[in-house]
C-alpha cells in the first residue's frame, strides 16, 4: 500500500471491502427471507412481460429505419479538412420524456457500428459554459469521473483510471485519440437543443470545428420544433461550420396507434381495457405530455390494479388446465363476491352447478370479446376513410365508442351508413374484399364462417347488378313533383320542401343502387349488430375488462393541491394513526406533524398579513402548553422555535406564504379560504 503523507503525523488505513462476505450475506438473505409469491403477482408479471416484448418489437421496427439512416450518415459521411462537422438534425417532436430513450438507442447502435464510434451525450445543463461542456464531453470519452468517488470500493477499482477535471482538455483528448484504432470516430449527441444556452453552444461548435483535422468529430442534435429554428438561432459563420442533414422520426401519435392496434386491441391480448379507461388515458397522452413512455406506464398501472389481490381475475386468464385447481382453492367469501357482481344481476347462485356455470359464462365472455374485435376490424374498414370521419379515423376511437354502448344505435353510425350508400361500385367491392380477408384470417369460429358466406353473397349480388337498369316498384304509385314552392309563411315553405324531398327519395333506383342499399342495411343488422355487442353488457365482464375510471383518475393524474390540503388538515388520512383521528376538521392536536399545526393556524387568520410572533405563540400553546404558561415571553424553548421556523419555511416552499413587503415581522398569505 502506498504511503500517505500529511502535515499532521498520522496513520491512515485503507480497507478493501471483502466482496466474498457480502456475496454470502446477500445469498443467505435471499434464501431465508424470500417472500411467498402471490398468484396475482405472477399473473401480472407473465402478462406484462408478454405485452412489453410485443411493444419493444413494435417500437424497434418503427425506429429501425430512423436509427439506421442516422447511424449510416454519422459513420459514412466524409469528414473534410474545411472545418465542416457532419451534423444529423433529429426532428423528434415535443415528446421530451421519450427523447432520452431514443438517444440511448442511437448511442447503442453507434457503439456497435463499424468503423467504431465513441459516443458522448451532452444535455442542456452541461452548457452553462464552454469549459463545462468540454470537460463533460472529454470525461465521457475517456471514461473518467468528474468528481471524487464516494465509496471506498469505487476508489480501489478506479484508482489508476481516474483523470482530474483539469486534465479533461482538448489537447489531452487529441493525445488519447492517437492511441485509438484507425477509423475511429467521435460522436457528440446533444439531446435538448432548445434548452441549451445558445451562445455557449455556438462557441462549443466553433471550438470543435477547429480540431476537425486532428479528431474526426460528428454530431447529432435533437430538435423538438423545426429545422428553421436552428438556422434562425445560429449566425451564418456558425451554420457554415455544420454539414447538416435532417432526419424526421415518426410522430408520437403514430406510436400510440400502432401500440393500441397491434398489442392491446387484439383478442390474443390477456388484458382488456374499458372504453372509458382507454379514452381517459389517451386524453392524458394527447393533452399533457405526448409521451409514449408515460402512456405505457399508465397502462401498466391499470394492469396492476386489475389483478392486485383479485384471484378471480387471475383465474379467468390462467391456462385451462390450471383453472379448476385454482377455483377449488378459493374460499367461500371469494365465491360470494361472484354472485354480487352487477353484471350477473344476482342470478348466479352458489349451488352444485356453480362451478360449471361460472366457467361456461367465462367461455361465452371470451368468445364474445373475440367476436367484438373481429367486428371492430370490419367496422374500421367500412368507416375509417369516410368524409368528416363521424366515428373517427383510428381503431382506438371506435373501440371507445363501441365499448360504452352498441355502436349500431349510435347516431354517428347512421350518418356513416348514409355516406356508405353514396360509394361507387368499385369502392364498395374493395371494402368487402378486405372484410372477406378479415373473416378468412379468423379460424375455428362458426359465427365467422357464416358471416363470410353472407359477405360473399353480397359481393356476388353487387357484381351482377347493372348501373343503368332502373328498378320500378309496382306497389308504389309514381307521384308528380310539386314544383310550386310559393308559400305565405316559413313553416308552410318547410312543409312543401320536405314533400319534394320525399318525392326525390321515391324516385326509381338502378339495380346497383338498390342492391347497395339493401346490402348495407342487411350487413348492418345481420353481421355488425351481432359481432359488435359490447362485452361490457355480458355477465362477469368485470373479471376480464378493467373499467374502474374513478380509481385511475385519482392516481394517474393527481391533484397536488387537494392532496396537500388533505394531508395538512387531516394527516391521519395518510399516516393511518389513532393519535391524529379527528372528530371535526377544525380540531388541532399536538401529536400532529408541525406543518399540519402551522397550516391550520394560518387558516384561522382573517387577514392577508400574518404576525409571525403571534403565530409562534399559538404554535407553542398547542405543542407545549406548559411552556406557554411561563410569564417571561422572551424565554422560548429554542427547539420549539426551530420546529416552528422549519414548518413555516416548508409552507413558503410550497407556495402558501411569502415574506411581507411592508412589515419585517409579518408574512403574506397567498391562498384564501380552504385552498
pLDDT tens per residue across span 34-89: 444 688 999 999 999 999 999 988 887 878 888 999 999 999 888 766 778 999 99
- Counting every residue, how long is the chain? 675
Cα separations in angstroms, 305 against 53, 260, 273, 573: 21, 19, 12, 21
Which regions of the chain are under pLDDT 50?
1-15, 19-36, 144-160
Parallel/antiparallel/unpaired status of strands 545-546 and 609-611: unpaired
pLDDT digits (tens, 9 = 90+) for 306-337: 999 889 999 999 888 888 889 888 888 888 88
Rounded (10°) angle between helices 395-404 and 354-383: 130
Q: What does the radius of gyration of the chain's CA atoms come to, in whole angstroms?
A: 36
Residue 9 Cα to chain centre, angstroms: 60
User: Grid coordinates in use for 207?
Assistant: 471550438
pLDDT at 34: 41
For position 229, what pLDDT does the model report? 84
Closest CA to 222 of 326, 95, 317: 95
Domains of the chain: 65-144+165-250 (3.40.50.300), 251-406+533-554 (no CATH), 419-474+492-532 (no CATH), 560-669 (1.10.10)
Residue 222 contacts residue 92 (beta carbons within 8 Å): yes
Chain-centre distance for alpha carbon 214: 44
Q: What is the pTM of this model?
A: 0.75
* pLDDT on residue 635: 76
pLDDT at res. 509 = 77
The H or E element spanning position 470 is strand 470-471
Amino acid at each position: 500500500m502506498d504511503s500517505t503523507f500529511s502535515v499532521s503525523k498520522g496513520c491512515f488505513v485503507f480497507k478493501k471491502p471483502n466482496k466474498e462476505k457480502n456475496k454470502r450475506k446477500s445469498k443467505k438473505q435471499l434464501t431465508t427471507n424470500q417472500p411467498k409469491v402471490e398468484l396475482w403477482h405472477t399473473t401480472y408479471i407473465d402478462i406484462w412481460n408478454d405485452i412489453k416484448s410485443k411493444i419493444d418489437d413494435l417500437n424497434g421496427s418503427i425506429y429501425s429505419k430512423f436509427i439506421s439512416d442516422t447511424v449510416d450518415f454519422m459513420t459514412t459521411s466524409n469528414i473534410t479538412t474545411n472545418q465542416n462537422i457532419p451534423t444529423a438534425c433529429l426532428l423528434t417532436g415535443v415528446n421530451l420524456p421519450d427523447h432520452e430513450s431514443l438517444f440511448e438507442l442511437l448511442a447503442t447502435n453507434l457503439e456497435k457500428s463499424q468503423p467504431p464510434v465513441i459516443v458522448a451525450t451532452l444535455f442542456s445543463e452541461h452548457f452553462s459554459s464552454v469549459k463545462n461542456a468540454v470537460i463533460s464531453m472529454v470525461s465521457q470519452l475517456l471514461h473518467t469521473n468528474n468528481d471524487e468517488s464516494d465509496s471506498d470500493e469505487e476508489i480501489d477499482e478506479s484508482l489508476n483510471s481516474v483523470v482530474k477535471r483539469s486534465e479533461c482538455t482538448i489537447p489531452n483528448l487529441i493525445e488519447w485519440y492517437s492511441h485509438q484504432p484507425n477509423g475511429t470516430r467521435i460522436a457528440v449527441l446533444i439531446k435538448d437543443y432548445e434548452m441549451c444556452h445558445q451562445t455557449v453552444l455556438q462557441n462549443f461548435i466553433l471550438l470543435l470545428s477547429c480540431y476537425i483535422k486532428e479528431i474526426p468529430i460528428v454530431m447529432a442534435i435533437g430538435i423538438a420544433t423545426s429545422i428553421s429554428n436552428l438556422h434562425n438561432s445560429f449566425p451564418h459563420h456558425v451554420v457554415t461550420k455544420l454539414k447538416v442533414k435532417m432526419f424526421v422520426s415518426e410522430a408520437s401519435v403514430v406510436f400510440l396507434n400502432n401500440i393500441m392496434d397491434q398489442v392491446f386491441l387484439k383478442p390474443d391480448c390477456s388484458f382488456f381495457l374499458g372504453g372509458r379507461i382507454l379514452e381517459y388515458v389517451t386524453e392524458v397522452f394527447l393533452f399533457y405530455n405526448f409521451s409514449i413512455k408515460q402512456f405505457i406506464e399508465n397502462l401498466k398501472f391499470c394492469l396492476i390494479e386489475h389483478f392486485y389481490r383479485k384471484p378471480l381475475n387471475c383465474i379467468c386468464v390462467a391456462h385451462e388446465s390450471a383453472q379448476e385447481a385454482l377455483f377449488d382453492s378459493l374460499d367461500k367469501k371469494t365465491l360470494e363476491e361472484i354472485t354480487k357482481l352487477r353484471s350477473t344481476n344476482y342470478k348466479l347462485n352458489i349451488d352444485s352447478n356453480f362451478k360449471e356455470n361460472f366457467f361456461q359464462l367465462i367461455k361465452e365472455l371470451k368468445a364474445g370479446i373475440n367476436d367484438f374485435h373481429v367486428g371492430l376490424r370490419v367496422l374500421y374498414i367500412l368507416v375509417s376513410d369516410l368524409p368528416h370521419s363521424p366515428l373517427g379515423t383510428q381503431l382506438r376511437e371506435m373501440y371507445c365508442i363501441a365499448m360504452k354502448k352498441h355502436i349500431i344505435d349510435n347516431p354517428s353510425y347512421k350518418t356513416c351508413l348514409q355516406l356508405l350508400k353514396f360509394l361507387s361500385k368499385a369502392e364498395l367491392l374493395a371494402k368487402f374484399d378486405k372484410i372477406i380477408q378479415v373473416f378468412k384470417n379468423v379460424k375455428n369460429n362458426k359465427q365467422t364462417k357464416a358471416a363470410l358466406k353472407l359477405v360473399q353473397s353480397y359481393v356476388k349480388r353487387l357484381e351482377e347488378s347493372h348501373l343503368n337498369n332502373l328498378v320500378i316498384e309496382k306497389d308504389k304509385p309514381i307521384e308528380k313533383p310539386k314544383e310550386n314552392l310559393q308559400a305565405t309563411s316559413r313553416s308552410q315553405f318547410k312543409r312543401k320542401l320536405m314533400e319534394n324531398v320525399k318525392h326525390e327519395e321515391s324516385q326509381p333506383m338502378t339495380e346497383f343502387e338498390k342492391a347497395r342499399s339493401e346490402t348495407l342495411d342487411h350487413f348492418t343488422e345481420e353481421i355488425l349488430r351481432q359481432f359488435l355487442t359490447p362485452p361490457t353488457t355480458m355477465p362477469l365482464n368485470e373479471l376480464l375488462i378493467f373499467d374502474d375510471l374513478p380509481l385511475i383518475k385519482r392516481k394517474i393524474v393527481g391533484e397536488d393541491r387537494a392532496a396537500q390540503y388533505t394531508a395538512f388538515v387531516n394527516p391521519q388520512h395518510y399516516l393511518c394513526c389513532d393519535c391524529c383521528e379527528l372528530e371535526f376538521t377544525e380540531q388541532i392536536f399536538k401529536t400532529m406533524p408541525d406543518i399540519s399545526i402551522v397550516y391550520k393556524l394560518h387558516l384561522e387568520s382573517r387577514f392577508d398579513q400574518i404576525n409571525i410572533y403571534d403565530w409562534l405563540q399559538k404554535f407553542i400553546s398547542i405543542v407545549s402548553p406548559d411552556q406557554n404558561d411561563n410569564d417571561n415571553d422572551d424565554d422560548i424553548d429554542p427547539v420549539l422555535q426551530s420546529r416552528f421556523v422549519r414548518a413555516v419555511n416548508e409552507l413558503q416552499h410550497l407556495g402558501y406564504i411569502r415574506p411581507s413587503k411592508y412589515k419585517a415581522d409579518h408574512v403574506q398569505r397567498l391562498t384564501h379560504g380552504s385552498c
